[in-house]
C-alpha cells in the first residue's frame, strides 16, 4: 500500500481528467478552469452539492483578477482568484467569448 491520503487540495478534474496538485490556493482546474462545488465555508457542512462549476465570467476587482464559477447543479456562484498556474489562453478565450 502506498501512503495515499486524500487531500482536499489535490483532485482529478471531472471535466478534463487533469490531475490537479493543489498549492494551497488551487480550487479549480488550471487546464479547463472548471471547478467543483465542494468548497464550503469552514464548519458549514450543509452545502456538499458536488456539482461541477463552470467558469462563467471573469472579473477584475481592485486590480485582482478573478474567475466567477457557477454551479451547474444548483446555480451557486463563487469568485475564485486566478492562479499563476492557470491556462491563461483559456482565460482569455473565456473573456473574449463573453464580450462576443
Ligand atoms: Zn479540467
Ligand atoms: Zn452546487
pLDDT in tens, 54-95: 999 888 878 788 889 999 999 989 888 888 888 988 888 887
| For the CA of 46, the nearest ligand | 2
Q: What spacing in Å lies between the alpha carbon of 34 and ligand 1's midpoint?
A: 6
d(CA 16, CA 78): 20
| For the CA of 52, the nearest ligand | 2
pLDDT at 17: 95
| For the CA of 38, the nearest ligand | 2
Given a cut of 60, whether residue 7 has pLDDT beyond it is: no
More confident: 92 or 16: 16
**With contact defined as beta carbons under 8 Å apart, do 53 and 69 qualify?**
yes
Q: What spacing in Å lies between the alpha carbon of 14 and ligand 2's midpoint?
A: 14
**Nearest one of 37, 29, 30 to 13, comparing CA atoms:** 29
**Bridge partners of residue 68, in order along the sequence:** 57, 79
Q: What is the pTM of this model?
A: 0.74
Amino acid at each position: 500500500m502506498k501512503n495515499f491520503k486524500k487531500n482536499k487540495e489535490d483532485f482529478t478534474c471531472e471535466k478534463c481528467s487533469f490531475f490537479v496538485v493543489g498549492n494551497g490556493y488551487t480550487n479549480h482546474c488550471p487546464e479547463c478552469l472548471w471547478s467543483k462545488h465542494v468548497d464550503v465555508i469552514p464548519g458549514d457542512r450543509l452545502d456538499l452539492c458536488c456539482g461541477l462549476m463552470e467558469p462563467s465570467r471573469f472579473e477584475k476587482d481592485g486590480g485582482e483578477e478573478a474567475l466567477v464559477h457557477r454551479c451547474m447543479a444548483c446555480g451557486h456562484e463563487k469568485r475564485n482568484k486566478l492562479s499563476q498556474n492557470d491556462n491563461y489562453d483559456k482565460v482569455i478565450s473565456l473573456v473574449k467569448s463573453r464580450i462576443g
